[in-house]
Structure 1
Amino acid sequence: MKAPFLWDPYSDQPYQLKDRAFKKAMRKKELFSLLSTFLSALLVLPVALLAQIVIPKRRILSDSFFGMSVNLDKEPQAVNTLTDELELSTLLIRFPLWEMERLESYVDFVKVNEGRKIILNVMQDREHVEDLALLKSDLESVFQAFSPYVDCFQIGSTINRAKWGFFSVREYLRFYEVAYELKRRRFPALRLLGPSVIDFEYHFTAHALFNFFTVRYDAVTALLYVDRRGAPENTQMGFDLIKKIGLLDALALMSPKASRSLYITETNWPISNTAPYAPTSEYECVDEESYADFMVRYYLLAFASQKVDAVYWHQLIAPGYGLVDNREGLRKRTAFNAFKTMQRSLKEMEFVSFEKKHGIFTLVAKNIIQTTTVKWSLDFQTLTYNTPQPYLDRDGNTRESQILKIGPSPIYLIEKSD
C-alpha cells in the first residue's frame, strides 16, 4: 500500500502523519507483527531481566568511546576543524536513501573525515521500505561507494516510529534482510548494525533480536534517549541509565541474531528557547548549563556500565540540540568545552571503578600516564582534604582548593603516575 504522502525525517522539524486512514490501514496490515512484538517481549524480557544480574561487565576502553554525529547538511566546511579541536576519533554520518542523487557528495564528506572510525547510518524512507527491489539496487550502490572508506553500516533508524517509515518490526526486518543478503553475498567484510530502536521501548528490540528472519547484527544499536526523564540519573519504571544499558546488553548477549557489541548511536537533550529547532516541546527542554552537565554525566554513566562500545552524541552542529549553534554564524555552546574536557581527561583510559556514596558519584579510570577521578553530585556536597587539591572543572579550567564543592557539574582530579 503506497503512502499518500512524503516526509523528511532528516529535518529538525518533527513530522506528524496527517492521513489517519492510511495509518489505520497500515496498522491493520501489520497486526501480525504487532502481536509478534507483544509475544516476543512477553517471553524474552523477563529472562533478560534475570540474566542481566549475573552477566559480567566487558572491558571497554575509552579510545573510541566518545563518538559524535555529524551531517553533510550542517556546515560541512566547519566539521573537520571542529572535530579536530575535539580530538574526535569516532563519528557517525547519516546517509538518507532519498538523496541517492547526492551520493558522491556524501562520499566526499566521508573522505574528508577519513582516518576516523566511522559508522554510516543508512536512513530509510517509505519508498524504500515498500519497494525492496529499489532498496537492493540502492544499497548495492551505497555499499560499493562507501566501502573503501567505511566498514560499519547502521541499517535504518528509529524503527519504532511510523513517521520514520516503518509501521512494524517485521517491515524493518524485511528491510534489514535485504542489506544482510547483500553483505553475505557481495560485501562480506562489512559490519551491519541494527535495529536502532529509539527510547526505552525494548519490546521492539526483543522482536528485532528474536525472530525467524535470516539476519544477523554485527553490533546492536539503540537510540537511548532519557531526556524526557530529566537528569540521566533519573529512573523510568525503576531503571536508571545504567540499568537500561544492562538490560539491552542482556538482550544482545541472549540473541542468536547478534553479537554482544553495543552502540548508543543517538542521544541528546533539547535546548530551551530554540523553537522551532528543538525536536520536543519547551517543557522537555533544558538550559545550556544543564545540557552540558547532562551530556557529560550520560557519557560517564554509560562508560561506567562497561557494556557500551561507544556513545554518539546527536549532534555536533544543530540549533536545537547540538554542541554548536549555527543560526547566526557558529557559536560554541558551553557543552563544546565540556565535551573537549571530558575527552581529553579520559583519553585512552581503562575503567577502574564506579560508586555512589553519600550522594557523590565517583568514576575512576587510568592509563600508564595518569589516574583520573571524576566526581559529581545531584545536589551540592563538600569534601575536605588535608592539602589543596588541583582539579579541572567541567569546562577545562584549572582550579585548586582544599575544600571541594561537588555538584551537578563533574570535576576531574588528575594524578600523574610515578
Structure 2
Amino acid sequence: MKTPFAWDYYSDQPAIIRDKKLKRKMRLSALPSLIKTFLIAAVTLPFSVLTIPYLPHRRIDGDRFFGMGVNLDKEPSLSPGLVRELGVKNLLIRIPLWEIDRLHEYVAFVRSFEGCTVTIALLQDREHITDLPMTREHFKAIFTALSGICDTYVIGSTINRAKWGFFSVNEYLDFYGIAFDLKKTCFPHLKLIGSNVIDFEYHYSAHTLFNFKNIRYDAVGSLLYVDRRGAPENTQMGFNLIEKIRLLASLARLSPKCDGEIVITETNWPITGTAPYAPTSETECVDEESYASYMVRYHLLAFASQSVNSVFWHQLVAPGYGLIDNRDGIRKRSAFDAYRTMLSQMADASFVGYGVKRGRHTLLCETLRGVLHVEWLEEGSMEIALTQTVTVTTRDGISMDTDTLLLGESPIYYTTPLENE
C-alpha cells in the first residue's frame, strides 16, 4: 500500500493525511494506547516534578554541547565549507527512510564533513511504521552503509504528531524496537537516541520511558521548541526553559529505560516574511535580530541547566528558519555570526554558575582564558559601571575595551582572571 504522506519541501514535514475517514479510523484504533499514555503520565509526571530539586547536575562542558543540523537538499556542495567557517564540529543529518534509494548520496554527504562528529536522524513515514519487516531491512542497510563513519542515530522524529505518521506511542515503541533489536544482534557499538517528542508534551515522553517493551535508550531525544511562547525565558504552564529541561531530565532519570542523558535534537524560531518557507504562521515568526538573540539565549539557558548533553540547532541553511537564507544566493543572517561567536566563547567552557535577578541573566563559566561572564536582559537596556576595564565581545563578535557594561537583549561576553591567578 502506498503511503498517504508526501514530503513538504517548504516545512520539512510530511503533508497531513487528506483522507479524513482514514485519519478518524487510525485515531480510533490508537485509543487504547492514548488512554495508557495519559494514565502513565498521571502517575509519573507529578512524581518527576517533586524530584526535580534532588536531580543531580550532569557535568556538561562546551566541547560537545553545540550541534548544527545540515540537510542534503540544502546546498550540499557548499555546506562543508560553511560548517568549517562556522566552527561547529557536531552535526545532525536527517535521512528520510523513504529515500533509501538515495542512501549512497547520503553516505557521500556525511563523508564530506571531515573532522566532524555526525549524528544521523532517521525520519519515518506511515509505510515504515506499518511495514516493520521493510523498516528492519532499511535500518540494517543504513547501519551497514555508515559503519565506521557514524555510530549515533536518532530513531524516529516528532512521534506525537499524526502528520509524521505515528498515531500512538505504542506504534513508536514497536518502531524503535526494530532498531534496538538490530543493535543487540548485529550492531552493538551503536548509540540509539529515542523518544523524540516535540514541544512541551511530556505525557507522551512519559509513555516512551515507562513501558513493558524490551527496549532501552542510550539517550532521550527531545524536539524542545519554545518559539510559540516568544522569548526563550517565557513560561508555559509555569515552566520556563530550564525547568522544562529539568523536568524531562527528572523523568528520564526515574525511567528504567535509560541512564538519563538528554539530547535536544531540534529547535529554532521561524523568521518573519519568509512564507511559505516558515513552518508556522506569521503570528509566531520573529525578525532576524530577535532570532539571533533568542538562539543564543536558548543555548545559554540549556547549558545553564546542566541537564542537556547536546543541542542541535535546526538548521544551517533554510529560508524560513536557518542561519543562512539561500533563496537568492547565500545570505548569512546575523545569527550566523552570533552562533560562531557563541561557539568561540563557549567551546572550552565548564559551568560555574547561573543566576537571574529582575530580568538580568548572568552565566559564569571557567575557560582557559579565565572566568567567562555572559550577560543579557530579557528586555530593555542597562548600563553597569565596572571597577576594572574588560574586553567585551558582542553577540556578533565585535570586541572592545570598556569599564561600562551596556546590557541589552543581545548577550555579551567578557572574561576576568581566575581567583588563583
TM bracket, shorter-chain basis: over 0.9
Equivalent residue, structure 2, for 1:153: 153
Gaps of 5+ in 1: none
Distance 1:54 1:167, change over 3 A: same
Q: Which residue of 2 aligns with 1:175?
A: 175
Name 1:338's counterpart in structure 2. Answer: 338
Distance of 2:88 and 2:199 partners within structure 1 = 25
Deviates more, 1:289-298 or 1:364-373: 364-373
Name the aligned partner's letter for residue 246 of structure 1. Answer: R
Q: CA deviation at 1:64?
A: 1.1
Aligned equivalents of 1:248, 1:316: Cα separation in 2: 26
Partner Cα separation in structure 2 for residue 387 and residue 416 of structure 1: 12
Does the Cα contact within 8 Å between 2:390 and 2:415 map onto a contact in 1? no
Matches within 5 A, 1:251-262: 251-262=251-262
Superposed counterparts of 1:18-417, under 5 Å: 18-379=18-379, 380-415=381-416
Aligned-pair identity in percent equals 51
**Aligned residues of 1:156 and 1:196 also touching (Cα < 8 A):** yes
Distance 1:153 1:239 in 2: 29
Q: Is the 8 A contact 1:37 1:204 kept in 2?
A: yes
What is the CA-CA distance between 1:258 and the residue it aligns to?
Answer: 1.1
How far did residue 114 of structure 1 move?
3.9
Q: Secondary structure at the match of 1:46?
A: helix
SS at 1:340 equivalent: helix
Letter of the aligned partner of 2:50 in structure 1?
Answer: L
Contact 1:381 1:405 in 2 (8 A): yes
Q: Is the 8 A contact 2:369 2:415 kept in 1?
A: no
Q: Runs of 5+ in structure 2 lacking a partner?
A: none
Residue 9 of structure 1 contacts residue 164 of structure 1 at CA under 8 Å; is this kept in 2?
no
Aligned residues: 417
Tell me how far apart the structure 2 counterparts of residues 396 and 410 of structure 1 sit (CA, whole Å).
11
Shift of 1:369: 3.1
Pair 1:10–1:138, CA change in 2 (3 A): farther
TM-score, with length taken from structure 2: 0.96
| CA distance 1:61–1:287, change in 2 (3 Å) | same
Contact 1:359 1:381 in 2 (8 A): no
Cα deviation for residue 11 of structure 1 reads 4.9
Output one character per residue of 1:109-135: Cα deviation in whole Å (capped at 9) or x when no partner.
Answer: 111124322110011011110101101
Deviation at 1:416, TM superposition (A): 5.3
How far 1:362 sits from its partner (Å)? 0.4
SS of 2:384's equivalent?
strand
How far did residue 12 of structure 1 move?
2.1
Structure 2 partner of 1:7: 6
Say if 1:196 and 1:220, in contact at 8 Å, map to a contact too.
yes
Deviation at 1:49, TM superposition (A): 0.5
Q: Deviations over 1:3-45 (max 9, x none)?
A: 7723215652663332111111001111111011011101110
1: CA distance, partners of 2:368 / 2:127: 52
Q: How many Å separate the matches in 2 of 1:218 and 1:384?
A: 47
Shift of residue 386, structure 1, vs aligned partner: 3.1
- Cα deviation digits, residues 286-342 of structure 1 (max 9, x gap): 000000000000000000000000100000000000000000000000000000000
Distance 1:288 1:125 in 2: 32
Residues 68 and 3 (structure 1 numbering): CA distance in 2 closer, same or farther, change over 3 Å?
A: same
Task: Kindly indicate whether the alpha-carbon contact (under 8 Å) linking 1:193 and 1:218 is maintained by their aligned counterparts in 2.
Answer: yes
TM-score of the aligned structures, taking structure 1 as reference length: 0.97
Moved more, 223-232 or 141-150: 141-150
CA contact (8 A) 1:13 1:276 kept: no
Q: Quick check: 2:100–2:138 contact (8 Å CA) kept in 1?
A: yes
